[in-house]
Structures are given as C-alpha cells and as structure tokens.
Amino acid sequence: MSDDRKNFGRQSEEAAARFLKRQGYEIIERNARNTLGEIDIVAKHKNVIVFVEVKARRSQSFGHPKYAVTPAKQRKLSMVALAYLKKLGTTRMPARFDVVTVQPTQEGPHIEVITNAFELAYP
C-alpha cells in the first residue's frame, strides 16, 4: 500500500475517532489486533461494546464506502470481535458493529455512522 493511501486511511480513522468521541463514544482501543485480524476502533457507547469498521473513499467511483463492508468482511470482523471479547472475558456483555464512513469534501470530511450496521456473522 502506498504511503499516500496509508496516510489517507490513518487520517480518516483519526477523523472517525474524533467524531465518535463527540457523539459520546468512549474509545477503548484503536487498531485492536489479534491472530485473526484487526478492528479499527473498539469503543464503549451507552454500556455497549462497539466494534467500529472505518471505511473511507476519496470519490464515489467505486460506490459509497459502506458497501466495502461485504458479507466476507462482516464474518472476519465477527471472528476478530469474538476473540477480543473472549480475551477480555466479557462474552456476555452487549456488543454491536458500527460502520463509520469518511468522505472528503471541500468543507472537511463528511462522516456518517451506521449504528448496528450488521449482526454477528460468524459461521
């Protein structure tokens, strides 16, 4: 991945985290990794653990960024999230998956939060 794409991704995740904080989310961890993959942001919102996938696109050429969270991506995120919760010993705590989209505009990034974007998709 080019440095330009990495920087764009990093800036988009930073903008998403700031936006979520303003919306009352408590950021617990960013780029939470385990052997199964990575979750962009783990947060707490109203006593719910929230696993956040951040998707950013510079243009609509490939469609809205939310469409990049495919069923395969949902399964992968579900496996990573379950492993994360097991490690913490909190598998009974309410959890959900949110998707945050970031798109640059003249006025600054346009950020959209899709709350409870998908259900646990573990085979």
Q: What class does CATH assign to 3-118? A: alpha beta
Burial (Cβ within 10 Å: 0-12, 13-18, ≥19) of residue 53 = buried
State the DSSP H helix or E strand holding residue 6, giving kind and residue range, or none if neither: helix 3-22
pLDDT category at 122 given cuts 50, 70, 90 is low
Average pLDDT rounded to a whole number, residues 113-119? 94
CA distance 52 to 99: 6
More confident residue, 23 or 90: 23
Tens-digit pLDDT profile for residues 44-69: 999 999 999 999 887 676 777 887 89
- Domain ranges for the chain: 3-118
Report pTM.
0.91
Q: How much of the chain, in percent, has pLDDT values that exceed 90? A: 60
pLDDT category at 41 given cuts 50, 70, 90 is very high
